[in-house]
Structure 1
Amino acid sequence: MFEPRTQNPLLAAVLILTATAFIAGTTLLAKALGSDALGINALGTPLHPLQISHGRFLFACLTFLVILAVRRRRLHAPDLRLHGARTLFGWLGVSLMFASVAHIPMADATAITFLNPVFAMILAIPLLGEKVGPIRWSAAIAALIGAAILLRPTPASFQPAALLALAAAVSMGIELIFMKKLSGREPILQILTVNNLIGICIATLAVWPVWIAPTALQWVALAGIGVLMACAQTAFLNGVARADASFVAPFSYATLVFAAVYDALMFGARPDAVTLLGAGIILGGALVLALRERRVHQVPPIPK
């Protein structure tokens, strides 16, 4: 079970915002590693998305194992079936997300992946037997309309890579179903450690056919992705533990702001009117869902 934390909404908000800055940072590094966005192979030959996600799990796993050793904690009877299913879809979502940001603006990819709670809500109907009322359906439909706008469905502007971000959102939505079953059964540190242990096993098998030797700078960037994500997960879960889910969930959408800022500063990408409109609609629908979840007690997703 989770250890009780003293309620502190201000600290919770700071922790969630810190987590979003870290999450956007991992996306920034993934884009730099998976494309030549910095120019003339500044870091080396672009890495395959599967190799980037492998680095994410490898260094996050090492981080949590060190924490586990320092705190002298042991893993106690984890539900490997649920952990395995959750990690499989989480790994797939991460890999698809990293693939998408190599080809489309970070703001677009980040906004589309915010659809994951919408897909989780839809899938919870047949898989968890949940009932969905008109408010939640309206919010979900609004968010899907926003995604359709971001996909730019015209022959002149359609970006196939945006479908990768959409598939990432579906995968993460499925993962949320397993997280809802797992949450509350095991300590936070155990959940994160087991998640990354299984994740590195899956990622290692998947990366084998596309593996190339990273340069020294690429190793540093891969380590940065893993450590930043470990920090993000820790900050996020501690933030959730210190305030109601409905209070902290809206702060998680700051990831989109950080992604847009990082993209502009590092790659000169400026959000256009279509991005602002589609992202605004998605965030509006997601915000309504987050506020509605106070009654159904849905647990916010752990960052990837």
Structure 2
Amino acid sequence: MTTLMQNRAGPAIAFVVAGILAISVNDMLIKRLSGGYPLHELVFVRSAIGILFSLVLVQIEGGWRILKTDRPGLHLLRGALVVIANMTFFVALGAIPLADATALFFAAPLFITLLSIPILGEKVGPLRLGAVTIGFVGVVIMQRPWAGTETLEVSRLVLLLPVLAALTYALNQLMTRRLGVKSKASALSVYIQTVFIVVSLGFFVVAGDGRFVDESSSASMQFLLRAWVWPAPGDGWVFVGMGLNAAVIGYCLSAAYRMADAATVAPFEYLGLPLAVFWGVVIFGDLPAWEVWIGIALILGSGLFVFLRERQKARSTVSRPTTRRY
């Protein structure tokens, strides 16, 4: 299995890089629109458009038959995890800078490394575990536990939302690794988009008229629960772009984690950190605070160490016989 993984590592890395580029654009667009639209409306439009692109990919990869699965429950659970990851991250994005939310979310590769032990049966040595610990220290620093609630611009719950998103995202990616053996990347993308559409419509039925928020509500709650509005003429293409991005993200990340070991793919997701800083500065004029810079350095450093250590281990064991771990 290790040889197979190495043979497919190149395409997997290309897919994850493309997916992270699309995610960075998507996050920037979501934050840009967060002041005027409800999150569930953005999610619905994005997913409705995205599923159309995904269905085209389904035809390319084998036709309608590849949508059939003998594990609907696991796919439903995976879709739910993706929804939780996205909704919690986007709610935080409506209240804190893009770079801050993204840096906190990048606990995900750390969670992937830890959870790959019980879920995928991967072996993680003490050096990598130490690096993961350092990365989590960076997460704690960005949470600013020494600051009083009166000095924080948002509640601590909002600061924890990207970390919850990271945990559920990590679980989702590890499930993709297991489910991907029998499911095409385009099918996995369709399943996820379908769950997004159902959940966003549920939000519309319950809160689509904005009855649960007013001007005194927090920015996060307004973003989550404000009333649906018809898109402004200039925002139409932005919605279309988000839909295309949704299809690209779902396909590329599913393909990446089907093709290669989680520890090989995950470190390349750190490209999202400098991209988030770039969009934050250029589009929103947000320069990260010193705590965020320290957190980025610790998380990025630990992630790169884990990656290099994994590659070294792979080279030393490439000739050994292996068995499937899923």
TM-score tier after normalising by the smaller chain length: 0.7 to 0.9
Instruction: Choose the corresponding residue for 1:143, options 123, 135, 144.
Output: 135
After superposing the two structures, state which structure 1 stretch, 202-211 or 242-251, moved more. Answer: 242-251
The yes-or-no answer on 1:113 pairing with 2:130 is no
Q: Which residue of 2 aligns with 1:234?
A: 251
After superposing the two structures, state which structure 1 stretch, 215-224 or 83-92, moved more. Answer: 215-224
Tell me the secondary structure at the aligned position of residue 43 of structure 2: helix
1:218 CA displacement: 4.2
Q: Which residue of 2 aligns with 1:275?
A: 292
Instruction: Check 1:6–1:51 CA distance in 2 against 1; reply closer, same or farther (3 A cut).
Output: same
After superposing the two structures, state which structure 1 stretch, 82-91 or 220-229, moved more. Answer: 220-229
Task: Give unpaired runs (5+ residues) of structure 1.
Answer: 36-45, 298-304
After superposing the two structures, state which structure 1 stretch, 181-190 or 238-247, moved more. Answer: 238-247
Q: Which residue of 1 aligns with 2:200?
A: 203
Deviations 1:259-282 (A, max 9, x none): 111111111111232211101111
Instruction: Check 1:130–1:245 CA distance in 2 against 1; reply closer, same or farther (3 A cut).
Output: closer
The yes-or-no answer on 1:163 pairing with 2:155 is no
Instruction: Choose the corresponding residue for 2:304, options 287, 296, 301.
Output: 287
Q: Which residue of 1 aligns with 2:93?
A: 101
1:289 CA displacement: 3.4
Alpha-carbon distance between aligned partners in 1 of 2:76 and 2:9, rounded to the nearest angstrom: 33
After superposing the two structures, state which structure 1 stretch, 222-231 or 255-264, moved more. Answer: 222-231
Tell me the secondary structure at the aligned position of residue 89 of structure 1: helix
1:46-195 map, 5 Å? 46-69=36-59, 73-74=63-64, 75-123=67-115, 132-153=124-145, 154-155=147-148, 156-157=151-152, 159-160=154-155, 161-195=158-192
In angstroms, what is the RMSD of aligned CA positions? 3.3
Tell me the secondary structure at the aligned position of residue 270 of structure 1: coil
Alpha-carbon distance between aligned partners in 2 of 1:204 and 1:292, rounded to the nearest angstrom: 44
Identity of aligned residues (%): 25
- For these two proteins, the number of residue pairs brought into alignment is 284
Alpha-carbon distance between aligned partners in 1 of 2:305 and 2:102, rounded to the nearest angstrom: 18
Instruction: Check 1:292–1:265 CA distance in 2 against 1; reply closer, same or farther (3 A cut).
Output: same
1:8-19 map, 5 Å? 15-19=15-19
1:24 CA displacement: 0.5
Tell me the secondary structure at the aligned position of residue 286 of structure 2: coil
Instruction: Check 1:250–1:131 CA distance in 2 against 1; reply closer, same or farther (3 A cut).
Output: closer
- For 2:46, the aligned partner's letter is R
- Look at both structures and tell me which one has the larger radius of gyration over its CA atoms: 2
Alpha-carbon distance between aligned partners in 2 of 1:82 and 1:169, rounded to the nearest angstrom: 19
After superposing the two structures, state which structure 1 stretch, 153-162 or 12-21, moved more. Answer: 12-21
The answer to whether the Cα contact below 8 Å between 1:52 and 1:98 also exists between their aligned partners in 2 is no
Q: Which residue of 2 aligns with 1:260?
A: 277
- For 1:228, the aligned partner's letter is N
Task: Give the TM-score taking structure 1 as reference length.
Answer: 0.79
Q: Which residue of 2 aligns with 1:39?
A: none
Alpha-carbon distance between aligned partners in 2 of 1:278 and 1:32, rounded to the nearest angstrom: 24
Task: Give the TM-score taking structure 2 as reference length.
Answer: 0.74
Instruction: Check 1:218–1:152 CA distance in 2 against 1; reply closer, same or farther (3 A cut).
Output: farther
Task: Give unpaired runs (5+ residues) of structure 2.
Answer: 209-227, 315-321
- For 1:288, the aligned partner's letter is F
- For 2:27, the aligned partner's letter is T
The answer to whether the Cα contact below 8 Å between 1:53 and 1:91 also exists between their aligned partners in 2 is no
Instruction: Check 1:182–1:15 CA distance in 2 against 1; reply closer, same or farther (3 A cut).
Output: closer
The answer to whether the Cα contact below 8 Å between 1:120 and 1:173 also exists between their aligned partners in 2 is yes
Q: Which residue of 1 aligns with 2:32?
A: 32
